Amino acid sequence: MEFLGTTQTASYCGPKKACGICALPPAVPAPVIQECYQPYYLPGYRYLNSWRPSLFYKISNGQTCGDEGATCRSALRPPTILPAVRSALFCRYSPRDWDQSNQLQVRGAEASRLWAGRLTGDSVRLMQDKDQLTRQMQEGTCRNLGQRLSDIGFWKSELSYELERLLNESHSMDAVKRRLECVAEELTCPLQMALECLYQREKRIGIDLVHDNVEKNLIREVDLLKCCQEQMRKLAQRIDLQMRDNRDAQHALERDLEDKNSAEFIDEKCLNLRNTSDCISFFHGVEKIDGTISVPETWAKFSNDNIRHSQNMRANCIRLREEAQNLFEVLSDQMWKQFTNTNLAFNARIAEVTDVKNKLQTQLAKTLQEIFQTENTIMLLERSIMAKECPLKVAQTRLECRTRRPNVELCRDIPQFKLVNEVFTIDDTLQTLKLRLRETRDTLHLLVMTKCRLEHELAIKANTLCIDKEKCMSMRKTFPSTPCMGICP
C-alpha cells in the first residue's frame, strides 16, 4: 500500500522545567498521560470513527524542578521513531477497511461470475429452445406427412376394397345373367336341421341363454316351410345396362386409385428426406407458390363420392339379383334366403361371441399381469416403508442430540429447521405409503375376485361357441347344393 499525506508526530502538551543534572525531588507526582492523536480524514471518509489507529503516542506532564533553578524551558521530544514504526502507527487504512475491501472484491467477483453464468445458461437455453423448436417443427411436418400418408393409405384401402367388391358384384351379375334361364330346383325343407339347432342351443347356460338373432332366424326358418315359385325371364337387358354403369364406376375408382398411388409415392419421398439427404436444395419462393386445386375436405369428398357411386351401383346390382332370385320358386327363394340369413346370423353371433371371449381372455391375461404387478407393488411398498425408517431414525436422533446443546447454542438454526421438516416429511411419507399399501392390498383382493368371474364367463362362452360353431354350423355346411345357389347373396 502506498501511503499518502504526512504522518503526525506527538508533542508534549505541558511545560517542564529543565533541572540540568540535578536530581529530581523525591516526591514527584505521577506523570499525567493523555492522548494527543490528531485526526486525519482520509479522502472519501467523512467521520473519524470510520478508521482510528489503535496505538497512540502518550504525553506526560511533569512538575517543575524549582523556581530558583529554572531560568529556561525547553520542550522535550521523544526519540526519533523509525519510518517503518511510524508507518505501522499511522497507516492510512484500518483492518476493517481492508476486510471490507476484500469482501467487496469477493462479492463483486461472485456477482460477475453469477451474471456470466446466468448469461451463459440463458444462451444455452436459447439455443436449445430454438433447436427444439426447429426439431419440433420438422417432426410436426413429418407427423403431418405421415398422417397424410395414413389418410392416403386409408382411402387407397377403401378404394381397393370397394373396387374389389364392385368387381365381385360385376362377376356376380355376369353369373346371374348366365343363370337367368336356368330353372330353379326346389329346395327341401330344412325343418329337422333347424329344430336340431334350436334343441342344441337350449343347452346354453347362464347369460348366454339369450333370445338372439340366430334363434329368431331359426324360428323363422321353421315357420317358412311352405314356399312358392316364380320364374324370372326379363332381367338380362337391365343387368347389361347395370354392368355398363359398373364399368364406369370401376374406371373412376381405378383412376382415383392411380392418383392416390402417385401422391403416396411423392409424399413417401418427402417423408424420407432428412437433413443429411443428398437430394435436398434451396427453392427460394416455393412457399409462395400455391398450385393446389383442392382442400382436404374436397379431396376426401372426391374419393368418398366415387365410393358412394360404386356403392350405389353395388346396391343396384344387389337389387337386380334379388329380383332375379324372387323369380325362382318362392319356396326355394325364401328357404335359401332364410338359410343364408341364418348362417350370417350364426357367423355374426360366432364372431361376436369369439370377440367377447377374446376380450375376456385379454382381460384375464391383463388381470393376471396386474395381480403380479400388484403383488410386486405391495412388496416394493413394504420395502419402501422399511427403507424410510432408517432416515427417520437418523433425523430424530439428530434432533435429540441437538437438544443437548448448551445455553445459547440451543438455537433454532437452519439445520434445526431442516431436521424438523425432514422428520415431518418422512413421517408423512410413511403414512402415505402405508395408506397406499392398504389400498393396494384391497385392489389385489378385487383383482382376484375379477379373475374368478372372468374364468367363469370364459367357460360359458366356450360352451356357447361349441354349440353354435361345432354342432349347428357343421350341419349347415353342405345345405343346400342347387344351381340357384350361385345367385344368392
Give yes or no for a contact between 483 and 185, defined as CB atoms under 8 angstroms apart: yes
391/80: higher pLDDT? 391
Residue 85: the pLDDT is: 53
Q: Is 65 helix (H, G, I), strand (E, B) or coil?
A: coil
- Averaged pLDDT for residues 180-209: 76
Question: Is pLDDT at 64 greater than 50 in this prediction?
Answer: no
**Share above pLDDT 70 across residues of the chain, in percent, rounded to a whole number:** 73
Question: Is pLDDT at 253 greater than 90 in this prediction?
Answer: yes
Question: Is pLDDT at 282 greater than 90 in this prediction?
Answer: no
Residue 187: the pLDDT is: 53
Give yes or no for a contact between 97 and 49, defined as CB atoms under 8 angstroms apart: no
Residue 181: the pLDDT is: 65
The partner residues of 73 in beta bridges, in order of sequence, read 17
Question: Is pLDDT at 1 greater than 50 in this prediction?
Answer: no
Backbone angles phi, psi at 375, to 5 degrees: -60, -40
317-345 per-position pLDDT tens digit? 998 888 777 766 666 677 777 788 888 99
- Averaged pLDDT for residues 182-192: 61
CA distance 324 to 487: 8
Q: Which long-range contacts (CB under 8 A, 24 or more apart) does 179-184 make?
A: 179/483, 179/484, 179/486, 179/487, 180/232, 180/233, 180/235, 180/236, 180/239, 180/324, 181/233, 182/483, 182/484, 183/231, 184/229, 184/328, 184/329, 184/332, 184/333, 184/482, 184/483, 184/484
| Residue 307 banded pLDDT, cuts 50, 70, 90 | very high
Mark 207-222 as b/e (b = at least 16 C-beta within 10 Å): ebeeebbbbebbeebb
Question: Is pLDDT at 7 greater than 70 in this prediction?
Answer: no
Which secondary-structure segment (H or E) carries 138?
Answer: helix 95-179
DSSP string, 366-418: HHHHHHHHHHHHHHHHHHHHHHHHHHHHHHHHHHHHHTT--GGG----HHHHH
- Averaged pLDDT for residues 132-151: 88
Which secondary-structure segment (H or E) carries 61?
Answer: strand 58-61
Residue 38: the pLDDT is: 45
Sign of CA dihedral 341, 345, 348, 354: negative
- The pairing of strands 58-61 and 32-35 is antiparallel
DSSP string, 194-246: HHHHHHHHTT--GGG----HHHHHHHHHHH----------S-HHHHHHHHHHH
397-425 per-position pLDDT tens digit? 887 887 777 777 777 778 778 888 888 88
Distances (CA, A) of 440 to 15, 17, 373, 389, 452: 101, 105, 10, 20, 19
161-175 per-position pLDDT tens digit? 999 999 999 998 888
Residue 89: the pLDDT is: 52
| Residue 188 banded pLDDT, cuts 50, 70, 90 | low
Record the cell numbers describing residue 252, joined without a space: 373412376
Record the cell numbers describing residue 402, joined without a space: 441437538
Nearest CA among 245, 259, 247, 248 for reference residue 155:
259
Question: Is pLDDT at 21 greater than 70 in this prediction?
Answer: no
Place of cell 382381460: 363
- Averaged pLDDT for residues 46-67: 43
| Residue 191 banded pLDDT, cuts 50, 70, 90 | confident
24/349: higher pLDDT? 349
Mean pLDDT of the chain: 77
| Residue 8 banded pLDDT, cuts 50, 70, 90 | very low
420-478 per-position pLDDT tens digit? 888 888 888 888 888 988 998 899 899 999 999 999 999 999 999 998 888 888 888 76
Residue 91: the pLDDT is: 54
Whole-number CA gyration radius for the chain: 54
Neighbouring C-beta atoms of residue 172, cutoff 10 Å: 19
Which of 25-29, 91-95, 231-235 is predicted least confidently?
25-29
Q: How many residues does the chain have?
A: 489
CA angle 56, 102, 95 (to 5 degrees): 10
CA distance 243 to 239: 6
Give yes or no for a contact between 267 and 156, defined as CB atoms under 8 angstroms apart: no
Residue 254: the pLDDT is: 93
489/90: higher pLDDT? 90
Residue 183: the pLDDT is: 58
